[in-house]
Amino acid sequence: MPAALGVTTQIGGERFCVFRTSRSKSRLNFLTLLRAGREDYVVNEATLDYLRRQPIEGAVIAGLTKLQGRVFSSQLEWLEHLARCSINIFDRPLLQALNEAATWGALRHHGLMQNTVIVSDDAGQFRVATHALCWIHAERHLQKLMSASPKQAKAVELVRQAIWCFYLSLKLWKQSPSPVGERVFRRQFDKIFGLRTGYKELDALLARLARRKDELLRVLERTEIPLHTNASENDLRAWVIKRKISGGTMSANGRVARDVMLGLLKTCRKLGLSFFTYLGDRVGLNGDQPRIPPLAILVARAA
């Protein structure tokens, strides 16, 4: 979500919500947020696997392989070692990829994102780890097609009806999954997104969505994940309302305070905990009542 002096990222689920505002919406920024305040860079198998999926020269990957198992405590230390490996740290695209890989390696080194599925609106920065694509955002591409004839408009409408019928069936299956249904959905997906209508733009869009089959059908493997990002959109609505009323913040500390307080508010609400009772407990206003545990503990208990 763009802001006057940065971009706000929402990370959340059924039991928690976090807002963080920064000056970038890059993948590196998103990985840095997932790193949860840590500043280290790690070269391990996860780092090398990440790089192998990028257009990186083999010589660069070979040089980093010699550093496997190393943990660099800061960005400066990391850059120094890259330079010692004769890697051009002034090549911005290359450095971006290396930073992303080492940050991803740090996440896995600390045991983070091991079993997490990221459900997103398909913005490129969110395509990390195990990724699932929001069906609502995927279907919106069909709405944007500018049909030039009644025949084309009818083709779009028929495809949309088929997709929504498939989506509703998938939503029902999710409540009571079965292996047989999973096979049926995969075959039906191929039929719908393999259609060729003669409308060039529509056929190209169907082919593009067909290539995202694994992400659109991730729920068949992980039935606990949502089919859309509506919950995130709802969480961000509070942030947008706050921005419209206040017009933004005056300082970096103000942005941090806004993000933290809104995140705490949303998390307390999801946990069924009074936000004001929680704040009162933290500033010592709840008298002799039992202390409320840290929200991280409450979130883990509710899992």
For the segment 48-71, the average pLDDT, to the nearest whole number, is 91
Residues near 71 by beta carbon (within 8 Å), at least 6 away in sequence: 40, 41, 42, 106, 109
Residue 243 has pLDDT above 80, yes or no: no
pLDDT for residue 303? 78
Longest Cα separation, the chain: 73
Among candidate residues 249, 140, 147, the one with its CA nearest the CA of residue 198: 147
Hey, how many other C-beta atoms are within 10 angstroms of the C-beta on 227? 18
pLDDT for residue 3? 47
Confidence tier at 147 by pLDDT (50, 70, 90) = very high
Q: List pLDDT tens digits, range 102-140.
A: 999 999 999 998 889 999 998 888 998 899 999 999 999
Please state, in angstroms and as integers, the Cα–Cα distance from residue 32 to each residue in 27, 99, 103, 135, 162, following that order: 8, 10, 7, 27, 39
CA–CA separation, 289 and 292 (whole Å): 9
Q: List pLDDT tens digits, range 62-71.
A: 989 988 999 9
For the segment 78-101, the average pLDDT, to the nearest whole number, is 93
For the segment 28-33, the average pLDDT, to the nearest whole number, is 94
Instruction: Show the tokens assigned to 7.
Output: 């971009």
Confidence tier at 1 by pLDDT (50, 70, 90) = low
pLDDT for residue 5? 59
CA–CA separation, 51 and 68 (whole Å): 13
Confidence tier at 238 by pLDDT (50, 70, 90) = confident
For the segment 265-274, the average pLDDT, to the nearest whole number, is 95
